[in-house]
A and B are shown apart, each in its own frame.
Chain A
Amino acid sequence: MTAKSDGSILYLDGVTVSFDGFRALNSLSLILERGEMRAIIGPNGAGKTTMMDVITGKTRPDSGTVLFNGSIDLTKLDEAATAQLGIGRKFQKPTVFESQTVRDNLELALAGRRGVFASLFHRKTAGEKARIDEILEIVRMTDRQKTLAAYLSHGQKQWLEIGMLLAQEPEVLLVDEPAAGMTDAETEQTGILLREIARTKSVVVVEHDMGFVKGLGVKVTVLHEGSVLSEGSFDHVSADPRVIEVYLGR
């Protein structure tokens, strides 16, 4: 496609979404390079969640371009298709399958064929078992693998969901408020985990916790009223007077 989209894993240009006259996204443009980790911050209603909805195909933009891998038009695809392409998403409110065990949750997320009949006649392979064990190890839930997800604490659910993201083996991870409801120690662990992941994947992190964002030490994009207000290093944006105005001025 265009030169700008070359080499990018996610390319958003002029994306506009409105709900009944309210503009959730206003000509938003954003480029995520392959292997890049990006933090996105912004006040309530800045359009962070809507942006993720657009990328994952949940919401169709009124106008604008959304490209994956520089060529695949994401606006034509639905959630399942984007997920199969390799875009993984973690929700703000941890959503795990509560009536299934931790292990089953990971099994469901595990990369593989998603068809009805494929799953009907699916047989667990040794490789899959090993992969699940590995992820359980990473998210430190090996001892809780038989527990129903409903019995997990809030933080544990967050970790399980990150584990599910890993199991999905996506190319891009969209992570919405991974540290919400976590203790300081857990938050720190989460940060370490994310940076670990970012070594091989592209990651977009939406977060409110400034300390957490600072700790990530990556390029930060500030959204405000549906478009990019400021972009750059954490120190750069936190010094930007417009950002200060938006965060403190109201």
Chain B
Amino acid sequence: MEGAVRRPFLVSGRRPDPWPEPFGIMTNVRLSALRPARAVQLALALVAALCLSLLALASPALAQDEPDDAVLRALVQEFVAAEGNYRDTSAIVDRIAALGHPGGVPVLNTLGAGDLFFRNSDDLVFAGTERGNTLVMADPITGEALGEVAEREATAIRVNNAVRRSIRTALGSLTLLSDDRATRIAAAQTVFASRDANNLALLEQAIEAETDAGVLRVMEQARAAIVVNNADLAAEERIAAVDVLAARGDQAALNYLRLLLTTDDAGLAAAAERGVSRIETAQIFWGVGQNLWFGISLGSVLLLAAVGLAITFGVMGVINMAHGEMVMIGAYTVFVVQDVIRASGNAALLEWSLPIAIPLAFLVTAGIGMGIERGVIRWLYGRPLETLLATFGISLALQQAARSIFGSSNVLVGSPSWMSGSFSIGQLNFNYNRVYILLFAIMVFVALILVLRRTALGLQMRAVTQNRRMASAMGIHTPRVDMFTFGLGSGIAGLAGVALSQIDNVSANLGQAYIVDSFMVVVLGGVGNLWGTFVGAFGLGVTNKFLEPYIGQGDAVIAKIIVLVAIIVFIQWRPRGLFALKGRAIES
């Protein structure tokens, strides 16, 4: 289910990532930094901007006048005259760097790649992309399209290694010394990744000037990445750098340190080894955390799917093989809601499709569940094996009905934008949809507990469970209680369907995929005990996810088989589940 492809709403007109992206490596950091709560983010950004402007005034190295577009443009235009004279070209590059205009970054990047041209007819400088014999022209600063020109009508501004060096330095100073904190971090990360020794001097200069602790750390790491690689430096300095890398603790740092293991310097190699083992330990820790999260996430899905079953199977003692189909109907409800919204042309409402679908799914599935109880199950009360067969028949018919109405292939269910994306804590990655489903599962569970403990229906349900005849004698209309109990269980299955529509393919087979697991959860937890179901679901989810990496190459199938076999053996040990009721009443 992890593999399911999510489809963001294109109709909503919101691209997930509306910001231009100078450094690819930054994407995750940025997304994670900006998603959780827009308002808080805005406030933080304002504060940060204020700090930065104060900082700019205080620091002479960074103090610049308001960068002037016209000055930059003039400088860029000078490349035309300097074409062929590398020294002049280098000089212009240095002046662009000194100007500190952020627009200089794309210009220098283009120049370095050899894609900066000027048109012979009017000396218009542009960034060119080859297309056949023509060049597609774009403004070197803004990227604005300028039309096309034949290749022979334009001249490339050539660069040699000396110029490339100046460009690198200039880019470093434009970015490493930029006013914008995010730009500086991104630049430092780029240096870290490239390990280009040519950047060292500039990097150290930037470290001198840096006052932000966060940025400073990344820069120190970048510096360390270069330093450990430099055999000319003193061993102590390199060992210190190893420690900085070890403290960084990610996969890239690990790779750098592994390269040092074979170095001649024994002290350095030992330090690297310590660093490697430190990172590896940390990574195991993070890996355990990530698996735990995957397990909890799977557990929340299982809980949603199984808790309705726990009601009908556990409380009523009725095996409902059509439970999975209630889940399926819930998922299709989401589809229908979105379809109706789309058809009505009110695309903005799509963001609200889930909140709209939740009560609808509950009502629809609860209604169908009550219909099944009235129409079939009550005629079979006390004959559990026959009930099982009859509800299986219902499940077949419902699946086929879904195929007749919606077709046999998967239907497209969209995710609202607030459900897509992810954030990280340390090296843990969290998808928003998973987090919301976990919260939803817990909410449903708590609500169910409240219904059972605090409402008249819950009281009657418990009474009927414990002693049907006594309850009947006390005037409780037991068939009606059964009907509502069944409706409640089915309705919760419908809610599970709403959640599952966000992470799994919605088709007629959706319910089938969960029914065996759901039964396992209930059996594991112990019939008639909601907390058992809770523990069973999360236990099963976490066990599953922890087994996966250790068996073969993350073989999910074998993990699943092992879990199933383990449950069969577990039943041997505790035939009535983890939280079984003891005593005579239950013995029969």
Contact = CB atoms under 8 A, between A and B. Distances in A.
Interface of A: 19-20, 22, 24, 49-50, 53
A50 B583 CA distance: 10
A19 B576 CA distance: 15
A20 B582 contact: yes
B583 A22 contact: yes
B483 to A, nearest CB: 30
A20 B584 contact: no
Nearest to B586: A19
A22 B581 CA distance: 12
Interface residues of B, number: 4
A49 B581 CA distance: 19
Contacts of B584: 19, 24, 49-50, 53
Contacts of A49: 584
Interface in B541-588: 581-584
Nearest to A19: B583
11 contacts: A19-B582, A19-B583, A19-B584, A20-B581, A20-B582, A20-B583, A22-B583, A24-B584, A49-B584, A50-B584, A53-B584
Contacts of B581: 20
A19 B582 CA distance: 6
Q: Chain B's interface: helix, strand, loop or mixed, by majority?
A: loop
Residue from A19, A22, A53 with most neighbouring chain B CB atoms (10 Å): A19
A54 to B, nearest CB: 12
Contacts of A24: 584
A223 to B, nearest CB: 16
Nearest to A21: B582
A214 B306 CA distance: 56
Nearest to A58: B587
A49 B584 CA distance: 10
Given A22-B583, A24-B584, 9 more contacts: A19-B582, A19-B583, A19-B584, A20-B581, A20-B582, A20-B583, A49-B584, A50-B584, A53-B584
The 9 closest A-B pairs by CB, nearest first: A19-B583, A19-B582, A20-B582, A20-B583, A49-B584, A20-B581, A19-B584, A22-B583, A50-B584
Interface in B188-215: none
Nearest to A20: B582
Contacts of B582: 19-20
B383 to A, nearest CB: 16
A19 B581 CA distance: 9
Nearest to B587: A58
A24 B581 CA distance: 15
Contacts of B583: 19-20, 22
Contacts of A19: 582-584
A173 B584 CA distance: 22
A20 B580 CA distance: 10
B575 to A, nearest CB: 14
B222 to A, nearest CB: 63
B331 to A, nearest CB: 39
A155 B526 CA distance: 38
Contacts of A50: 584
A24 B583 CA distance: 9
A15 B139 CA distance: 94
Contacts of A22: 583
A87 B583 CA distance: 23
B469 to A, nearest CB: 14
Contacts of A20: 581-583
A240 B584 CA distance: 30
A49 B583 CA distance: 12
A47 to B, nearest CB: 11
Interface in B358-393: none
Contacts of A53: 584
A53 B583 CA distance: 12
A22 B583 CA distance: 9
A45 to B, nearest CB: 10
A44 B583 CA distance: 15
Interface in B487-535: none
A106 to B, nearest CB: 25
